[in-house]
Amino acid sequence: MSTARTRLAGVTGHRLFWPLVVLVVLLAANTVYRPSFLSVELKNGHLYGSLVDIVRLSAPLILVALGMSLVIATGGIDLSVGSVAAVCGAIACLYISEQPDQNSLGAVLTAVAIAFGVALVLGAWNGILVAGIGIQPIIATLILMVAGRGLAQLVTSGQIITINSEPYKTIGVGHLLTLPFAIIIALAVTLVVAVLTRRTALGMIIEAVGGNAEASRLAGVRSRRITFLVYVVSAACAAVAGFMMTANVSSADGNAVGLWVELDAILAVVIGGTSLAGGRFYLSGTIVGALIIQTLTTSVYAMNIDPQTALLFKAVVVIAVCLIQAPAFRARFRRRHAPTAAPATPAEKQKEQVPA
């Protein structure tokens, strides 16, 4: 009995157990509301279904959250990812819109390369402010968060840029090997990040910098360089997410693309078990967190919940997820509901006092 209880405690204590339970509950609720929710069909060689749509729509958030995980692991924060996504999406769409042949693959690749280069510059700007000058990460990235929106508005001249480019549209809604192309991109980026951080010493170095940057520096780790690097990676992931967001609707709105995605990314990282204080980070948990947020968003729309209360409903669910996976909260809950031992009878007390 004790062995089974120990095993159960080990399973429920795993950092992914409660997030996965919440994800299953959300999927079950959608299935009860709409029995065909879990059905996946193959049409014209492409997979379609609500589950496929959830994963496809989660791809931009997964990318942003992966970069955010690395930044948070160093003890920082990046509030500018939404603005970076907007700037890069706007630059790519602007370049394509000015081409005589918008379906030219070369023009699309050039647009993506230019926008991606801008993202690296923006990420380097954040890295210099945080690692080089020593500005607090929340302030440094808040600067670009505000300025980036203005830059995106300048690129689009305050208008919505619309394009008609099939190659660019493929990034968001295209298919490859029956799967949506956005899912393949997210899988590829996740694989690269996982290999670099879990199969090399880079991940351990990032966690060491987040745990104690000064101790890492004294141990020979160039903590400033690592901090600079993670902000560049975060901006690069945000750029690819911006391409997906604008490709989904074949347009770029500098004021709407990536709006508040930084908050969803932070929530996904926290739900996945990564501490905002820095140190250990969990990529698998971040992905599960992103899937929970997108499933929750899909549920709100599918169940016709009043848009005025949708954000409140989402906030309540996220708070519940964070609470049930918090060890301190679970321990206090168990202590409060644990059965209390019955008081000893006078005979039992007298027996305890008699020496053996």
pLDDT of residue 356: 47
Res 264 pLDDT > 50? yes
Spatial contact of 240 and 185, defined as CB atoms under 8 Å apart: yes
In a domain, 347, yes or no: no
- The separation between CA 41 and the C-alpha centre of its own chain, rounded to angstroms, equals 27
Closest-CA residue to 230 (of 77, 63, 58): 77
pLDDT of residue 46: 86
Q: H or E element: which one contains 151?
A: helix 137-156
* 3-class DSSP assignment, residue 355: coil
Q: How many CB atoms lie within 10 A of CB 221?
A: 18
Closest-CA residue to 229 (of 62, 112, 86, 73): 73
Structural domains in the chain (count): 1
Q: How many CB atoms lie within 10 A of CB 208?
A: 21
Spatial contact of 102 and 96, defined as CB atoms under 8 Å apart: yes
pLDDT of residue 280: 86
For the chain, the maximum distance between any two Cα atoms, rounded to a whole number of angstroms, is 100
- The separation between CA 60 and the C-alpha centre of its own chain, rounded to angstroms, equals 8
**CATH number, domain containing residue 185:** 1.10.3470
Q: What is the pLDDT of the chain when averaged over all its residues?
A: 87
Percent of the chain at pLDDT exceeding 90: 57
Spatial contact of 209 and 216, defined as CB atoms under 8 Å apart: yes
pLDDT digits (tens, 9 = 90+) for 161-183: 999 999 999 999 998 888 999 99
Closest-CA residue to 133 (of 143, 148, 146, 118): 143
Rounded average pLDDT over 303-322: 75
Q: Which of 18-22, 101-105, 135-139, 254-258 is predicted least confidently? A: 18-22
Q: Which of 12-16, 34-38, 258-262 is predicted least confidently? A: 12-16
pLDDT of residue 219: 81
Res 353 pLDDT > 70? no
d(CA 131, CA 102): 40
Is pLDDT larger for residue 233 or for residue 318? 233
In a domain, 71, yes or no: yes
Angle at 228 between CA 128 and CA 74, to 5 degrees: 120
pLDDT of residue 7: 67
pLDDT of residue 307: 66
In a domain, 33, yes or no: no
pLDDT of residue 279: 83
In a domain, 327, yes or no: no
d(CA 241, CA 63): 6
pLDDT digits (tens, 9 = 90+) for 111-161: 999 999 999 999 999 999 999 999 999 999 999 999 999 999 999 998 999
Res 108 pLDDT > 50? yes
d(CA 152, CA 260): 15
The tokens of 186 are what? Answer: 């997210």
In a domain, 173, yes or no: yes
Res 2 pLDDT > 80? no
Is pTM beyond 0.95? Reply is no
Is pLDDT larger for residue 161 or for residue 351? 161
Q: pLDDT band for position 325 (50/70/90)? A: low
d(CA 142, CA 169): 31
**Could you list the residue range(s) of the whole structural domain that residue 124 is in?**
60-322
DSSP 344: P
